[in-house]
Amino acid sequence: MRFSNIENGNFKNKKVFLRLDLDVPVKKDKIEDEERLLSGIKTIQYLIKHGAEIIIAGHLGRPEGKEEKFSLRTVASFFAKKIGYGQLHPRKFGIFNGWRLTERISILENLRYYKGEEKNDGEFSKKLAGLADVYVNEAFAVSHRPHASIIGVPAILPHFPGFHFLEEVRVLGGILKKPKRPLVVIIGGAKLDTKLPLVEKMHHFADYVLIGGKIAQETRILLKVAHEKIIPQAGRKKSVLLIADSTFNGTDISEKSAENFCQIVGLAKTVVWNGPMGITNGKSIDEDTERGTRKLAKAIVKSRSYSVVGGGDTLAYVKKINLLDKFKFCSMGGGAMLSFLSGEKMPGIDILEKNYSK
């Protein structure tokens, strides 16, 4: 993949539209996990050092209209304390609301407050692009979405990938092109509608595909349909597909399934993991619902594999149990990571390759 090099860009006295991944878990005005926000700091610091004025943009959740609970005020406050004055100063940007963090750094309110964002409306893209001179994408996690701030704005402005975005493409591209095998892909969580098609594609790419979490329960019900869809292609092998059994109340994978998964991880030279095996936001009355996820996480970091973990819930959990720095690479993308490794079209990457210059 060929992108214009941000280190060759001229940002002095230029306004930069910086698309960050701001979709972090927020409860009671408190950010529960900051990893996605921190991944953009290097790019922010580089742009400021080279004379840019930055307008940070992104989204939070899936609001229907301008719901206050999805406001980016808490995220803006995080950046204000991290790189700004410490306090927010409301500011208007044409039709957009936002806040000034410093004289040279501002942030827009949730882009998904506007229907034009997810529709990739041309006029909406022009209004966003009109705020800046240059576009930088540091939001790999949403670059599989054809939204205005992902493909509409860079279609208008000179564009560059950010530093972590480049690292995502480099690491995941290496796994896609020439993984060290056995390659084990572990998929958990609950998003069956988006993950089932990726399970099918991984079935032809990985050596082992391990399915846990709520998606395992639903996939087991749809197992017959799933296997009918997984059709071997000429010259392509099929992996071993294992679907975990659940505990009696469905809140975790069974102890035997956890042991089987850990044994397979022990054989791996590359492990890619997205999605917890059970409920990881607390313990139920009946049992420890994190047991399967915790056991798997420990097995991965103890293995000799090149380990990659991705997805907001998964990153938050391994950070909570102090294992985040034990993984070889932490991808900010969940669905985007799996989409990339499945060989699916990534609109946010494709647009950055256009008008490439060294």
The string of pLDDT tens digits covering residues 204-230 is: 889 999 999 888 877 666 655 444 444
Check: CB of residue 162 under 8 Å from CB of residue 40: yes
Q: Mention the CATH class of domain 6-167.
A: alpha beta
Domain covering 179-341, topology: Rossmann fold (3.40.50)
Check: CB of residue 207 under 8 Å from CB of residue 175: no
Q: What is the spatial distance between Cα 332 and Cα 163, in angstroms, rounded to a whole number?
A: 13
Identify which of 55, 45, 42 has the alpha carbon closest to the alpha carbon of residue 15. 55
Q: What is the spatial distance between Cα 7 and Cα 42, in angstroms, rounded to a whole number?
A: 12
The string of pLDDT tens digits covering residues 184-205 is: 999 998 766 667 677 778 878 8
Cα 79 versus chain centre, distance: 19
Q: What is the spatial distance between Cα 273 and Cα 300, in angstroms, rounded to a whole number?
A: 9
Q: Where in the chain is the domain with CATH 3.40.50.1260?
A: 6-167, 179-341
> What are the CB-based long-range contacts (under 8 Å, 24+) for 278-286?
278/212, 278/213, 278/247, 278/251, 278/252, 278/253, 279/251, 279/252, 280/313, 280/316, 280/317, 280/320, 284/249, 284/251, 286/249, 286/251
Write out the chain's pLDDT in tens, 358 residues.
Answer: 789 999 999 999 999 999 999 999 898 889 988 999 999 999 999 999 999 999 999 999 999 989 999 999 999 999 999 998 888 999 999 999 999 999 999 999 999 999 999 999 999 999 999 999 999 999 999 999 999 999 999 999 999 999 999 999 999 999 999 999 999 999 998 766 667 677 778 878 899 999 998 888 776 666 554 444 443 443 446 678 899 988 888 888 999 999 999 999 999 999 999 999 988 875 554 557 889 999 999 999 999 999 999 988 899 999 999 999 999 999 999 889 999 998 889 999 999 998 755 5
Phi, psi angles (nearest 5°) of residue 95: -85, -5
Q: What is the CA radius of gyration of the chain?
A: 21
* Amino acid identity at 45: Q
Q: What is the spatial distance between Cα 47 and Cα 115, in angstroms, rounded to a whole number?
A: 30
Identify which of 222, 208, 224, 173 has the alpha carbon closest to the alpha carbon of residue 341. 173
Instruction: Report the pLDDT value the prediction gives residue 232, as an integer from 0 to 100.
Output: 43
Check: CB of residue 25 under 8 Å from CB of residue 33: yes
β-strand partners of 187 = 211, 274
Q: What is the spatial distance between Cα 326 and Cα 297, in angstroms, rounded to a whole number?
A: 10
Residues 6+ apart with CB under 8 A from 312: 23, 24, 25, 33, 36, 334
